[in-house]
Amino acid sequence: MTALDLSSPVAVVGTGTMGQGIAQVALVAGHPVRLYDAAPGRAREAAAAIGARLDRLVEKERLTAADRDAARARLLPVEELTGLAGCALVVEAVLERLDIKQELFRALEDVVPDDCLLATNTSSLSVTAIGGALRLPGRFVGLHFFNPAPLLPLVEVVSGSATDVTSATRAYETARAWGKTPVACADTPGFIVNRVARPFYAEAFAVYESQGADPATIDAVLRESGGFRMGPFELTDLIGQDVNESVTHSVWRSFFQDARFTPSLAQRRLVESGRLGRKTGRGWYDHADGAERPEPHTADPAEPPAYVIAEGGLGPASELLALIREAGVEVRERDEDGGTRLVLPGGGKLVLADGRTTAEFRDVVHFDLALDYRGATRIALSHARHTSPAAVAEATGLFQALGKKVSVIGDVPGMIVARTVARIVDLAVEAVARGVATEDDVDTAMRLGVNYPLGPFEWSRRLGRGWAGELLDELHGIDPSGRCAPSLALHQYACAADEREDTP
């Protein structure tokens, strides 16, 4: 099954920001496009807005004047649903309510031919449930674009329980012909991106709620150490706290209130207070004109230690040893069974975040995971109240000698980057095990849909298959509520590592 022919008319129902964006994508690809909105006059207004955006593309030399004129000639706003007769594809982008979408598609079935592909752009509702109201549910598919649709490349092509393979394939190939990067997934709460991304927000909010660190510091650590484009507090302010929380609640309810998807009480209070982010002028941060952005916590300068003792290597942080030597700090290596740490001159120990609290040990300072320790500009440290100030000072001075800013946070098990990545890996592995998508499609979706520096399986290959499970086991042991419980799929994934070929 191939993509729709460019002569085939495409319709978009719903002319808000997303509907206009999808229409623009189909239009620039070369299709005749029809716009419909239930509100009188809205389709004409949307057509004018799309025309203005095409003008801007010409000004930026991303589109020729001739192609713009041809695209405008192919764009037709219609005032009645019957104006969509003869279309080969209809994409819906209306209000996120199941009853409204079902009613729309039932009406469309009386208008369009039986071979017309019907698609919903829903981000939170069940594709199966929407299509269940149809006479021919096999032709119904999810086409989930990301906002802004003309710019972001990812499209999740979602097959409902009744979707025909031919329909899903045609939708996939059409999205690819439009210059997008499609990924195929089964109909599951949140699809790929909104399912796997939940811990990026949830873990940051949990650290904040436990008073482990403030929003500015958490955001800075995830950006400057984890390599994420934006931190979760600034990102949810951009998305809208109400929108982000709504998706979280939808996924949580759809998974029968699975503790791993538990919403944040702190975010609930923001929404209740009307602090929805940039659109209201205040969310986690103050966005009023002239408002100062709070600075992340950064430790004062400290003297680096003269030497460190490396016991057993540092696992995923092993590249630190070369950086320490390059900084002029002597590294003395000592074999130690089960040890993966740096011992400081004063007797304190530096240990990579492993899911345990520093309160369990004497003079242990945990340091957080980094995407790239050489390129990271900030490192987070965590310690207990009883940790000696000398150990904290030596640990701080060591990382500052490597050219890093240091953020000292509370005694947070798993810290910030490490626990976030571990939980993302877990949900990704479970999604693949349940047939939601392939490993490659999950990685592609998370890199392109939410700009993650690595896909979950890329992270896992770098850190080791067993790393996430071991960290989550420790977190679950400390907090058996189920929030951080590793999935069975993650355990099986670790046991199926290629290097393990032994049989019982």
Active-site residues, by number, are 123, 144, 156, 194
CA distances from 104 to 43, 182, 262, 321, 410 (A): 16, 25, 32, 61, 52
Token readout for 475 is 């977190």
Map tokens 């986690």 to a residue.
284
Which DSSP letter does residue 324 get? H
Contacts of 260 by beta carbon, 8 Å cutoff, 6+ apart: 198, 199, 423, 427, 482, 483, 484, 485
Q: How far apart are CA 311 and CA 306, in angstroms?
A: 17
Contacts of 101 by beta carbon, 8 Å cutoff, 6+ apart: 92, 94, 120, 122, 125, 130
Query: E strand or H helix at 71, and its extent?
Result: helix 65-74
The closest alpha carbon to 222, from 93, 88, 415, belongs to 415
Which DSSP letter does residue 495 get? H
**Residue type present at position 275:** R
H helices then E strands: how many in the chain? 19, 15
Q: How far apart are CA 87 and CA 26, in angstroms?
A: 13
Q: Three-state DSSP class for 223?
A: helix
Q: Is 152 exposed, middle or buried (0-12, 13-18, 19+ CB in 10 A)?
A: middle
Map tokens 């929108």 to a residue.
243
The closest alpha carbon to 409, from 228, 264, 211, 234, belongs to 211
Contacts of 77 by beta carbon, 8 Å cutoff, 6+ apart: 34, 35, 36, 43, 44, 46, 47
CA distances from 421 to 47, 368, 434 (A): 42, 11, 20
Q: How far apart are CA 156 and CA 184, in angstroms?
A: 6
The CA-to-CA distance between both ends of the chain, in Å, stands at 46
